[in-house]
Chains A and B, each alone.
Chain A
Amino acid sequence: MPRVNYTAPTTVDEAVKALASAAGLAKVMSGGTDLLVQLKSGRLKPELIVDTKRIPGLIGIREEGGFFIIGAATPGATLSDHKGLEHAWPGIVEGADLIGSTQIQGRASLAGNLCNASPAADSVPAVIAARATCTIAGPNGRREVLAEAVCTGPGRTTLEKGEFIVEFKIPKPKARQCDAYLRFIPRTEMDIAVVGCGVNVTLDAGGTCTDARVVLGAVAPTAVIVDDAARALIGHKLDDATLAKLDAAAQAACKPITDKRGTIEYRTKVAGVLARRVAAIAFERAATR
């Protein structure tokens, strides 16, 4: 790996300063599982790495009011170990848990997964579906944005120079609200999602959907919120007709590419399949919450 500079600030302000004042490209490192691979391959040639993990609060989960506050650099393994989060948002935990191997789980974080800005990021659909927000620190102070507002395309984000995500704020579920995430990969582990799907639903006491968000990954330049899919669910129970509409809406929202991981036709079909399968899990869970 070519030479690079490294700093591990212990406050948000120091980190912002380091990022903002770097002459060349400065990259934030939380888990490093994407960043270091990109450095080694030569795809990225930063001048400076800013390791945020020594900033208090960047790793850890706390509950504040109606929210889970998740430090941006919290590794997936920590999310999986948090019983409260796992019960509330099993889909978010599933998504994060699917990023790489057990080894990668010890490192990979929600912020890294989001800011790497891969359309196939596994943790992103369920986080967006839960209407999570990100707290971003930068030279002009802090701002809060919806998770879906961070990525604009493969490898591209709305973060300005000097900015980085400090934490995620995820509202706690309402009664009979829950989520699920599934992805399709060729093997059983270790692959990048060919298609990913997060579904977040709220049911009434009779099992009819009152609110829903369906988010697809890997079928467009960014994760896609499929409003038509949500509309297909809202006001309905999960019967065959509803599932068919959901499937159709999911497929209609796909604007995928053909690449080494799948073709346009295949991704589109599987998006429909996954939407149905994930919705079934989310409905079943929500009914028990």
Chain B
Amino acid sequence: MSKHHVTTVINGEPVEFLCESQQTLLDVLRDELGLTGSKEGCGSGDCGACSVLVDGTLMCSCLFLGVEAEGHAITTIEGIADGDKLHPVQQKFLEHAALQCGFCTPGLIVAAKALLDTTLNPTEEEARYWLAGNLCRCTGYDKVLRAVMDAAAVMRGEASA
């Protein structure tokens, strides 16, 4: 069972890695590439803590084999901010205290960014259903939703960053 050589783009940078067939993209990110921002909360696609974008589409990296990444562009939580400038979703998570333990936060932020990439005018209900695959046990989702809706307003130019 020799390893696969995979050529991909991660957070805008060309990246090559070797992986075994059974290693998930999450395993590769965390254990081979040192990108530990994506978290494993369940390993079965039920919690969303490992959310990444693959060619812009939101996915659970725990249900995606590393070898499948060949030729695809991956965005992880480490690639959401622009250098030291936080994405509006990140900034609003801080301002609204939308995190307590912070473990589900990377996945929620990647998922919320994916939502706002699709629509800048989500209703609260749309945002709740979009984020239903991102479990948070600390916040009761209230401040998370406020942060996401406020970030959307910033991105629409209606609220201050």
Same complex origin of A and B: yes
Residues of A within 8 A of B (CB): 1-6, 8, 31-33, 36-37, 39-41, 49, 51, 53, 75, 77, 100-104, 106-107, 188-190
Q: Given the complex, which residues of B lie within 8 Å of A4, measured CB to CB?
A: 1, 21-22
Query: In the complex, what's the smallest C-beta–C-beta distance from B126 to chain A, in angstroms?
Result: 11
Pick from A6, A41, A53: contact of B21, CB under 8 Å: A6
A29 to B, closest residue via Cβ:
B65
Pick from B68, B115, B134: contact of A51, CB under 8 Å: B68
Pick from B23, B43, B51, B129: contact of A103, CB under 8 Å: B51
In the bound assembly, the distance between CA atoms of A104 and B129 in angstroms comes to 13
Q: Given the complex, which residues of B lie within 8 Å of A1, measured CB to CB?
A: 22-24
Q: List, sorted by A's number, 6 A–B pairs whose CB atoms are closer than 8 Å.
A: A2-B22, A33-B60, A37-B45, A101-B45, A103-B45, A103-B60
Q: Given the complex, which residues of B lie within 8 Å of A75, measured CB to CB?
A: 57
A8, A100, A104, A106: which has the most chain B beta carbons within 10 Å?
A106
A105 to B, closest residue via Cβ:
B58
Q: Given the complex, which residues of A lie within 8 Å of B73, measured CB to CB?
A: none
In the bound assembly, the distance between CA atoms of A75 and B54 in angstroms comes to 13
Contact: B22 with A104, CB < 8 Å?
A: no
With contacts A41-B44, A75-B57 known, what are 7 further pairs, Cβ within 8 A? A3-B20, A8-B70, A37-B63, A51-B65, A104-B60, A106-B58, A107-B60
Interface residues in B113-147 (C-beta closer than 8 Å to A): 114-115, 129-134
In the bound assembly, the distance between CA atoms of A49 and B59 in angstroms comes to 20
Contact: A3 with B21, CB < 8 Å?
A: yes
Pick from B1, B23, B68, B133: contact of A189, CB under 8 Å: B133
Residues of B within 8 A of A (CB): 1, 4, 20-24, 43-46, 48, 51, 54, 57-60, 62-65, 67-68, 70, 111, 114-115, 129-134
| Majority DSSP secondary structure for residues of B touching A | mixed
Q: Given the complex, which residues of A lie within 8 Å of B62, measured CB to CB?
A: 36
Q: Given the complex, which residues of B lie within 8 Å of A106, measured CB to CB?
A: 54, 57-59
In the bound assembly, the distance between CA atoms of A4 and B111 in angstroms comes to 30
In the bound assembly, the distance between CA atoms of A100 and B60 in angstroms comes to 11
Contact: B132 with A188, CB < 8 Å?
A: yes
Query: In the complex, what's the smallest C-beta–C-beta distance from B59 to chain A, in angstroms?
Result: 4
Query: In the complex, what's the smallest C-beta–C-beta distance from A254 to chain B, in angstroms?
Result: 27
Query: In the complex, what's the smallest C-beta–C-beta distance from B121 to chain A, in angstroms?
Result: 17
In the bound assembly, the distance between CA atoms of A5 and B45 in angstroms comes to 22
Contact: A107 with B63, CB < 8 Å?
A: yes
Contact: B63 with A36, CB < 8 Å?
A: yes
B59 to A, closest residue via Cβ:
A106
In the bound assembly, the distance between CA atoms of A159 and B68 in angstroms comes to 25
Query: In the complex, what's the smallest C-beta–C-beta distance from B51 to chain A, in angstroms?
Result: 6
Pick from B4, B21, B23, B111: contact of A102, CB under 8 Å: B111
Contact: A40 with B44, CB < 8 Å?
A: yes
Q: Given the complex, which residues of A lie within 8 Å of B67, measured CB to CB?
A: 6, 8
Contact: A100 with B58, CB < 8 Å?
A: no
Q: Given the complex, which residues of B lie within 8 Å of A8, measured CB to CB?
A: 67-68, 70
Query: In the complex, what's the smallest C-beta–C-beta distance from B98 to chain A, in angstroms?
Result: 18
Query: In the complex, what's the smallest C-beta–C-beta distance from A189 to chain B, in angstroms?
Result: 4
Contact: B65 with A102, CB < 8 Å?
A: no
Query: In the complex, what's the smallest C-beta–C-beta distance from A98 to chain B, in angstroms?
Result: 11
In the bound assembly, the distance between CA atoms of A5 and B22 in angstroms comes to 8
